[in-house]
Amino acid sequence: MGKPTGFMDYKREVSKDRSPRERIRDFQEFHEHLPRERQQLQGARCMECGVPFCQSGMTICGMTSGCPLHNLVPEWNDLVYIGNWEQAYNRLVKTNSFPEFTSRVCPALCEAACTCGLIGEPVATRENEYAIIENAYEKGYADPRPPKVRTGKTVAVVGSGPSGLAVADQLNKRGHSVTVFERSDRVGGLLMYGIPNMKLEKQVVERKIKVMEAEGVTFVTGTDVGKDLKAEKLLKDFDRVVLACGASNPRDINAPGRDAKGIYFAVDFLKANTKSLLDSNFQDGKFVSTKGKNVVIIGGGDTGNDCVGTSIRHGCKSVTQIEMMPKAPDQRAENNRWPEWPKICKTDYGQEEAIALFGHDPRIYEATVKEFVKDKNGNLKAVKIVKLSWEKEPETGRMKMTEIPGSEQTLPAEIVLIAAGFLGSQKYVTDAFKVNLDKRTNVSTAPGQYETSVKNVFAAGDMHRGQSLVVWAIREGRQAARAVDESLMGYTNL
């Protein structure tokens, strides 16, 4: 431990955000990070615990506590404090393929499990991670390092989201020749088109892709495997195939009036928005504009929040977010003790902006859509919602929701964005490779394994475990790469 009293000597300090009214004018990242010298002091707050829950990645009460990647958090926090930035980078990338992504979009499971957070404020681990990786790019530590020896083995990776990229990065470092197939026009999957630019600027993704290309990874865009390219050809041309296509089937809302014009899936809304921004700075008009519109967003998660922030940046007239679940408490409940993930109400950047602009939180809790109301031309003009009551079923103990009579409410809405989660892998891909699925339509493997029911075909990421976090997708990709390497070489050192 570099400074045993650091957690008492220094207060937690993190980046400041541009004010909501200022940042909604653009789609740029809005965090203003600390100078390097002040960031080093944040490393001193780490106590290097004998049992570091921050890197455990354990499942407690069905929730992850600590980093699923088992990042060597205490080690590189201390290296940050003493100013050994190169070694901090080396220890960071030993377990994390893409700290430039996780330091921006991860909810910091490590910090939620930090021992300092038990009686005070946790170590600013995610911001230390950001400082390490950005310093590494500045100093050249993160420059391309192609493998010195090639094995002669070939691997096809289908999908270039965080899991697919992690598979490719690891197997390429091992010396295998990796080709990544992406159906979109840009590499990155949800990193590119699912996460808005203000959360993850796309030059950050492109910067890493260029490094991977220089290290020998081949990327093929605009190719939809299962449609444009047959599964049989991949299985013939490559020694192994890894499916990392994500959980791409959005959950729909089946209510009267669903055919109204003006209802979109959030994933389509966000993708079109980012693509138009990158292609033409919105000059091509190929996006759903919310300017001057009343917007209702169905879904209270991160994707719903991203829709709130995006709608506000386009100049919406109003925005409302519908959430089926009750509002979480503002403080930990007695039955939600550290180091469990804190189940507390989170007001994210989009909601902060809505509060600043419209004067109130955009969320309506314990409600669901009753009807989409159309005008005479079939255009959406309003949404009828109803409040819900959650009650425990005596027989099963499960919580069941029932509508509260007389609680109906009509909200003006010209645009509805459905952000109700995803249902699993896309059928045309799994049918093409003839892989078995589980009851949630995720690709099925033996517990803890990554090879599918089809020989030499592996699966990773959301397509394998269901919709989850970027950090879990990276973990899945790294573990799948290990399984592929072992199947190719008879052993693995990944």
Instruction: Kindly state the tokens that stand for 234.
Output: 């991949």
d(CA 403, CA 390) in angstroms, rounded, equals 9
Residue 149 backbone class (left: φ over 0; alpha: ψ -120 to 50; beta: rest): beta
Query: Taking the CB of residue 278, how many other CB atoms lie within 10 A of it?
Result: 17
* Rg from Cα positions in the chain: 23
Side chain identity at 396, as an amino acid letter? T
Point out the domain boundary residue: 395, 418, 441: 418
HSE value, Cβ hemisphere, 13 Å, CA-based, for 157 = 34
Whether 409 and 429 map to the same domain: the answer is no
Q: How far is CA 344 from the centre of its chain?
A: 19
Q: What is the mean pLDDT of each run of 10 residues along the chain (494 residues)?
A: 87 96 97 95 93 94 94 96 97 98 97 93 97 98 98 98 98 98 97 97 98 98 96 97 94 96 97 98 97 97 96 98 95 92 95 98 96 97 96 83 94 98 91 95 95 98 95 98 98 96
Residues 165 and 121 occupy one common structural domain: no
Tell me: do 278 and 168 sit in the same domain.
Answer: no
DSSP run (H or E) holding 298: strand 294-298
d(CA 403, CA 386): 7
Q: Cβ distance 56 to 65 under 8 Å?
A: yes
Do 131 and 161 belong together in one domain? no
Q: Is residue 254 part of a domain?
A: no
Residue 423: what pLDDT?
Answer: 86
CATH number at residue 433: 3.50.50.60
Q: State the pLDDT at residue 424.
A: 86
**Distance between CA atoms of residues 385 and 428, nearest Å:** 34
Instruction: Report the alpha-carbon distance of residue 492 to residue 480 in Å, rounded.
Output: 12
Determine whether 396 is exposed, middle or buried from the number of CB atoms within 10 Å of its CB (0-12, 13-18, 19+).
exposed
Examine the domain organization and report whether 269 and 388 are in the same domain: yes
pLDDT of residue 391: 87
Chain-centre distance of CA 246, in angstroms? 11
Q: Which 8-state DSSP code applies to residue 194?
A: I
147: in domain: no
How far, in Å, are 178, 196, 306 from residue 280 at the CA level?
32, 16, 21
Q: Verify that 366 and 243 share a domain, yes or no.
A: no
Using alpha carbons, select from 450, 420, 448, 447 the residue that is nearest to residue 435.
450
Query: Has residue 494 been placed in a domain?
Result: no
For residue 262, what are the contacts with CB-CB under 8 A and spacing of at least 6?
A: 379, 380, 413, 414, 415, 416
- Cα dist. 5→2, 38, 41 in Å? 9, 17, 12
Amino acid 1: pLDDT = 67
Q: How far does Cα 292 stand from its chain's mean position?
A: 29
Length of the chain: 494
Q: Are residues 401 and 427 in the same domain?
A: no
Tokens 């220890």 correspond to what residue? Answer: 91
Q: Which of 139, 172, 202 is the last residue of a domain?
A: 139
The answer to whether residue 438 sits within a structural domain is: yes
Whether 69 maps to a domain, the answer reads yes
- The CATH number for 114's domain is 1.10.1060.10
Contacts of 85 (CB under 8 A, 6+ apart): 79, 132, 135, 136, 139, 141
Give the pLDDT of residue 397. 79
Q: How far apart are CA 57 and CA 110, in angstroms?
A: 8
Q: Are 353 and 23 in contact (CB under 8 A)?
A: yes
Residues 284 and 405 in one domain: yes
Reported as half-sphere exposure (CB side, CA atoms, 13 A), residue 434 has a value of 7
Token match 């010396």: residue?
A: 175
Mark out the alpha helices in 382-441 (DSSP H runs): 427-433
240/306 same-domain check: no
Whether residues 343 and 465 share a domain: the answer is: no
Residues 180 and 44 in one domain: no
Tokens 């089926």 identify what position? Answer: 324
Tell which of 398, 418, 438 closes a domain. Answer: 418
Q: What pLDDT does 108 receive?
A: 96
Residues 6+ apart with CB under 8 A from 439: none
Element (H, E) at 323: strand 318-323
The verdict on residue 55 lying in a domain is yes
Report the phi/psi class of residue 257: left, alpha or beta, with left for phi > 0 and alpha for psi in -120 to 50: left
At 293, list the tokens.
């519109």
> What is the distance between the alpha carbons of residues 47 and 115, in angstroms, rounded to a whole number?
8
| Strand-pair category, 294-298 with 318-323 | parallel
* Encoded tokens for 392: 């425990």
Query: Does one domain contain both 414 and 270?
Result: yes
Domain containing residue 135: 6-139
pTM of the prediction?
0.96
Split into its structural domains, the chain has a count of 3
Distance CA 125, CA 173 (A): 27
Within a domain: 90: yes
- Token representation of residue 299: 């879904």
Distance of CA 404 to the CA centre of its chain: 34
> Cα separations (Å) of 81 from 6, 88, 120, 131, 284?
10, 10, 20, 12, 48
Evaluate whether residue 148 is within a structural domain. no
- Type of residue at 4: P
